[in-house]
């Protein structure tokens, strides 16, 4: 059984179809890229998988359990973490506190009043920050960080949930080329070491074809191609409507 199985997922906004009859599978230890031109429905797809939006029809099975109707917080508890296209972080907290917040939730310590939040799971937070190379900025307010650093913090937040499935929406947008490589390298390492499943969207085709095990191509909400990078790269339809545009 696959870790994630998406069957006939649909979502439309006011009659305009954003995701149409989408089906795919994703296994543990696999890195899957979701590509397509702007407005293809990638972010909507992410929102459907993580519970931010509710599908009109279709099923999202996580290890066989349908999570399509669950609220985001329940989906997170089942081991699905995500990052957003525009980083969503807690702007009134420091870098470390952002990660601590996620750890507090992960360890179900939200309703614990015995100790201040800033004293909880400090070490664990620092380990995660070290992993995304943000340890030195742990004390800084996230409001003053560079864009690329925000993405890293968001990744650390996502990882704090010890996810089995990680959804990354444009994880390297706004980063310099070498930093992109490092971040994707990190993601690959996690996939390898932890058996994590990663679904990510990405504009940089170098990154996509270098890192992904498989690639899904979306256009106007519909899946038009799927397969290993080499096959997708050769797909004529993909070339026509997507790669040609790039």
Partner 1 sequence: MDFLAVQFLTGLASASSLFLVAAGLTVIFGVTRVVNFAHGSLFMLGAYIGWSILTRLPREPGWFALGVLGAAGATALLGVMLEAIVLRRVYRAPELFQLLATFGVVLMVQDATLAVWGPNDLSLARPAWLRASVAIAGQRFPAYDLFLIGIGPLVLLALWLLLHRTRWGVLVRAATQDREMTAALGVDQRLLFSAVFALGAGLAGFGGALSLPDQSANLQMDLSAVVEAFVIVVIGGLGSLPGAYLASLLIGLLQAFGIVFVPRATLVLVFVAMAAVLLIRPNGLLGRPLAPGQITQEIRPVIRAAPTTLKWLGLACLVLAIVAPFFAGPFLLSVLTECTIAILFAASLHVMMGPGGMPSFGHAAWFGLGAYAAALAVERGGASTMVALLAAVLVPGIFAIVFGWFVVRLAGVYLAMLTLAFAQVVWAIAFQWDALTGGDNGILGLWPGGWLRSAPAFYWLTLAICVGGALVLRRAMMAPFGYALRATRDSTRRAQAIGLDPRSLRAAAFALAGAAAGLAGGVFAFAKGSVFPGYAGIGRSVDALVMVLLGGVDTMAGPIVGALAYTGLYDVLLLATSQWRFILGLAIILLVMAFPEGIAGATRRFWLRGREA
Chain residues in the site for partner 1 (CB under 8 A) = 50-52, 71-74, 76-77, 81-82, 84, 88-94, 97, 100-102, 104-106, 109-113, 115-118, 120, 140-141, 143-144, 154, 157-158, 160-161
Distance CA 246, CA 242 (A): 7
* Residue placing its CB nearer to partner 1 in the complex, 3 or 156: 156
Length of the chain as a residue count? 246
* Residue placing its CB nearer to partner 1 in the complex, 40 or 153: 153
Shortest CB 163 distance to partner 1, Å: 10
Shortest CB 241 distance to partner 1, Å: 28
7: its two tokens: 């069957």
CB 168 within 8 A of CB 201: yes
Rounded to 5 degrees, what are φ and ψ at 59? -130, 150
Q: CB within 8 A of 103, min separation 6: which ones? A: 120, 121, 124, 125, 160
3 state DSSP class of 113: coil
3 state DSSP class of 103: helix
Shortest CB 227 distance to partner 1, Å: 30
* Residue placing its CB nearer to partner 1 in the complex, 139 or 178: 139
Shortest CB 43 distance to partner 1, Å: 11
* Residue placing its CB nearer to partner 1 in the complex, 103 or 215: 103
Using only the alpha carbons of the chain, give its radius of gyration.
18
CB 100 within 8 A of CB 117: yes
Place of tokens 């305009």: 16
Distance CA 96, CA 194 (A): 23
Shortest CB 162 distance to partner 1, Å: 11
Distance CA 81, CA 77 (A): 9
Shortest CB 137 distance to partner 1, Å: 11
* Residue placing its CB nearer to partner 1 in the complex, 8 or 74: 74
* Residue placing its CB nearer to partner 1 in the complex, 41 or 51: 51
Shortest CB 209 distance to partner 1, Å: 28
Sheet with strand 57-62: strands edge to edge = 16-26, 4-13, 57-62, 65-66
* Residue placing its CB nearer to partner 1 in the complex, 107 or 203: 107
């Amino acid at each position: 059984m696959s870790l994630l199985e998406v069957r006939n997922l649909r979502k439309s906004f006011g009659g305009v179809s954003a995701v149409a009859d989408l089906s795919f599978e994703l296994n543990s230890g696999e890195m899957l890229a979701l590509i397509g031109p702007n407005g293809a429905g990638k972010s909507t797809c992410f929102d459907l998988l993580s519970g931010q939006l509710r599908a009109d029809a279709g099923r999202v099975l996580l290890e066989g359990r349908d999570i399509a109707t669950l609220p985001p917080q329940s989906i997170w508890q089942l081991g699905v973490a995500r990052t957003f296209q525009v980083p969503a972080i807690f702007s009134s907290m420091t870098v470390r506190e952002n990660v601590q917040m996620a750890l507090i939730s992960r360890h179900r310590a939200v309703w614990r009043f015995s100790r201040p939040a800033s004293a909880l799971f400090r070490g664990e937070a620092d380990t995660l920050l070290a992993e995304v190379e943000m340890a030195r900025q742990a004390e800084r307010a996230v409001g003053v960080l560079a864009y690329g650093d925000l993405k890293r913090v968001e990744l650390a937040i996502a990882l704090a949930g010890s996810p089995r499935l990680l959804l990354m929406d444009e994880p390297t947008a706004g980063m310099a080329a070498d930093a992109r490589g490092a971040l994707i390298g990190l993601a690959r390492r996690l996939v390898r070491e932890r058996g994590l499943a990663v679904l990510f969207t990405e504009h940089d085709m170098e990154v996509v074809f270098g890192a992904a095990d498989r690639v899904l191509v979306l256009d106007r909400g519909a899946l038009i191609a799927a397969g290993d990078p080499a096959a997708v790269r050769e797909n004529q339809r993909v070339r026509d409507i997507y790669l040609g545009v790039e």
